[in-house]
Structure formats: structure tokens, C-alpha cells
Amino acid sequence: MSKNKNGKKRDMISSPQFIISAAKQFIRSTGNLLDQASDKHSFSYYCNNIVDTEYFRQYTTLLSASGNADSLINVGAISLDGLYVGYSTSPYYTGLLPHFEAPTETGAGVINVNSLNPFNPSNMYGTGVNNIGLVDTGTYNPSGWAEGGHNILAAMTANRIASAESLESGVHSVSNYFDADFYYRKKTELLDIRSVAHRAPLILSGPGYDISGNPVPTGESGIMHPQAYSDPSLWKTGPLDVRWDDSKKIWKASGGAGEFISFVVDNVSDGIGETSAGCNYVLATVTDIGHQTTAASIGDTGVKIFDEDFCYFNLPIPVLIGIKGKAIAYKNTYASYEVPPSGTGACITQDIINSSYRWVVTGLCCGEEVFDA
């Protein structure tokens, strides 16, 4: 509890806190604040503060009343619930918080929610949950905690309140501090930890590289903009594209990239092996798709699979028909063209130009064996 200016107690839960991020521009050589963005030797600096509701209201009111439009336009703010959310590590948690789920994909070598649980690193203590339920009570009596474990200071736990059931040897109750818990009880909580997660979608802002490896923001001659790291107004800003793996109960950072399909060849393009570079393709039926694939469905027919360098489809046509393979979705080089560039060949038709991707073969199954037979 805290007190407001009248000395009354205020509930911090019902009086949310805010992060205020205010951008200011300074002259690099002197550090003096600029009245306007006119000096090329300047940089932007962010002043970030966590404030309560009362301060936030006073701050925004003051900026609005000052009549300085530049001051207000360069301020971002959000209540903390827009960035963070509490969660439980237990799939059997029944409260209002979101929580971990029990994975269905388990076993040696499988990286799932249990493997990545920060409160039981790499599932090294063998405690937690699997697809059939609890392994144990969620409390571990480790001989190796002092040599291993994690270095998180404290967190809420299911057993945080002292009671007759939570006392060890009638002396010490369960502690929110992990090392203190181990010191006194020779045990530490591993299950149903109540921690705080970043709220999705996670918004990222900054310079970097695009999916083709090009620097962003881009300056002249395609190189990184010289003010890419000093002028935040140039930064690329947007949600982080991650996808949920329901069998492992984890978010994967592969986003929409890395889309794979399995296929069987039904037919080949006219003049395959004799056309312009990049124009050799077969027509195939999709027999399977990767976990992240959204650009194709099992059973799709007439799908064009390209062999840009003619390394795979250089087999006799009777051998190609019926052969199986795999392909990956590549960014279509010609997607932005209204007409095919000269020299690309007749295979670059209007439907390919209008598509943002193309399927490129990555391997064939049993091609050499069939050919030798």
C-alpha cells in the first residue's frame, strides 16, 4: 500500500503504474537540448520512468497545457499490464492467471515447455509435468542445488503462506526466496511458480536486417543508414512474429519463415532442362506440410516446384514422374515486377509475379536408386 497526496492509503493493484518514454534530442558535441531538430550532429535520447496513475495524469495534463505540441508528440506511455502478465508454471493451476500446459510431445531429445522452464533448468531435476500428469509433488530435495539450479532470487509460489502443512520440522515455512528456501528447508519449490511473462504480441523496435539479409533502415547504396542507431524515428517497429507449437507447448520464433512441404511429381514443365535459368519446374501434389507451413495444404495439386540450378530435376522425365521430394518456400524475386524482367524466361508468368513466394526443391527421395534401376 502507498499513500496519495492527502495521506490516504492507496491500493497499488487498483492504481496501476505506467511506463513513460519521452524522446529528446541533444547536440552530440555538447549534450545541450535542441529547441528543434536542425543540427545534423544530434542524437535522440529516451528518458524512461515508471510512475503511478496520479503522476501520469499530472504529467500529461502539464504537457497538454504547455501548448508545446512537440513535447506531447514525442512521448509514449503504457500501463504495465500492457507489457507484463502474471502466469503459473503449473498446467493444473485453476486461478485467473494464464499457465503452462502439459506437452504431448515428450521423450529424450525433445525440447518442450518442461525443458525451457527457467525454474527447473533443462528439467534437470526431473520434476514437473508430462502428458500423463504430475511426476511428483513439485518439491525437490536436491543434493546438487548449491552446485546447479538457477540464479533467480525470488518468485511467488503456491506454498508462499506459512501454515501447519507448509512448515518444515516445525521451524521454517516455505520462502519466496529460492536459496533461503533451500538453506532452511533443504528443498525448493519447482512446481506452480507464479511469475511474470512478457505480454504477446511482443513489440520490437530498432535497427537490424530484413529477411533477405539487407540492413534496415537502409541508407544510400543499400548499406545501413548512418543514423540507424542514433535516430529512433528511423527504426523498424512491429510485432514479433512467433508461432505456437501445441505439441510442445512453446512459442517458436520461426514465424512465417521456414515453410516446408513434401510432394510427389505429377508432371514436368515443357522444355525442362532447355529453358532459361530458374525456369525448370515440375507440377506436384502436396503430400505433407511442415509444422509452420501456411502457404500450402495437404492434397494441393498443380503446385509448381522450381529447381533454380537444375540440380535435382535433371533426371529422365519417366523417372521424375512419381518421384517424391521436399521443397521450401522462398521469397519470390519477381513479386514486385509488373512484367517479367528480360531473360527470365516464359516460366515467369503473371501468377508467379503476383505471388510473394515460390517453392524450391531441397531434395528428392530415392532418385539415384530409381535411376540406376
Q: What is the dihedral of CA 155, 158, 161, 167, to 10 degrees?
A: -110
The maximal CA–CA distance of the chain, rounded, in angstroms, is 91
* E-only strand ranges, 66-177: 75-79, 84-88, 129-130, 133-134, 139-140, 156-157
Burial class (CB in 10 A: 0-12, 13-18, 19+), 192: buried
CB 119 within 8 A of CB 152: yes
How far apart CA 43 and CA 57 sit, in angstroms, is 28
Three-state SS at 208 = strand
Per-residue pLDDT of the chain (373 residues; tens, 9 = 90+): 445 555 555 555 567 889 988 877 766 555 555 554 454 455 566 678 888 888 888 888 877 776 655 567 888 889 999 999 999 988 888 899 999 998 888 777 778 888 888 988 777 776 544 433 334 444 554 556 767 778 888 888 876 544 444 445 445 556 678 887 777 767 777 778 899 999 999 999 999 988 767 899 999 888 999 888 888 889 999 999 887 888 889 888 765 456 889 999 999 877 676 655 556 789 999 998 876 677 788 999 999 898 877 888 888 888 889 999 989 887 666 655 555 555 555 455 545 555 667 888 888 875 433 333 2
Alpha helix positions (H), 156-250:
178-185
Three-state SS at 279 = coil
**Chain centroid to CA 216:** 19
Return contacts of 34-42, CB within 8 angstroms, 24+ apart.
Answer: 36/70
How far apart CA 149 and CA 178 sit, in angstroms, is 10
Q: 266 φ, ψ to 5°?
A: -100, -35
Three-state SS at 361 = strand
**Chain centroid to CA 360:** 25
Question: Reduced to 3 DSSP states, what percent helix, strand and coil does the chain have, rounded to the nearest 5?
Answer: 15, 30, 55
pLDDT number for residue 192: 81
Angle at 325 between CA 324 and CA 326, to 5 degrees: 150
Domain segments of the chain as ranges: 2-82, 86-194, 203-239, 260-372
CB 140 within 8 A of CB 205: no
CB 358 within 8 A of CB 329: yes
pLDDT number for residue 148: 74
The cell numbers describing 289, all together, are 506440410
The cell numbers describing 79, all together, are 500501463
Q: What's the DSSP call for residue 340?
A: P
How far apart CA 230 and CA 66 sit, in angstroms, is 28
How far apart CA 146 and CA 166 sit, in angstroms, is 22
How far apart CA 235 and CA 232 sit, in angstroms, is 5
pLDDT number for residue 286: 94
Q: What is the DSSP string of 42-67?
A: EEEEEEEEEEEHHHHHHHHHHHHHHT
Burial class (CB in 10 A: 0-12, 13-18, 19+), 133: exposed
Centre a 10 Å sphere on the Cβ of residue 90 and count the other Cβ atoms it contains. Answer: 22
pLDDT number for residue 268: 87
How far apart CA 56 and CA 35 sit, in angstroms, is 24
pTM for the model: 0.61
pLDDT number for residue 216: 93
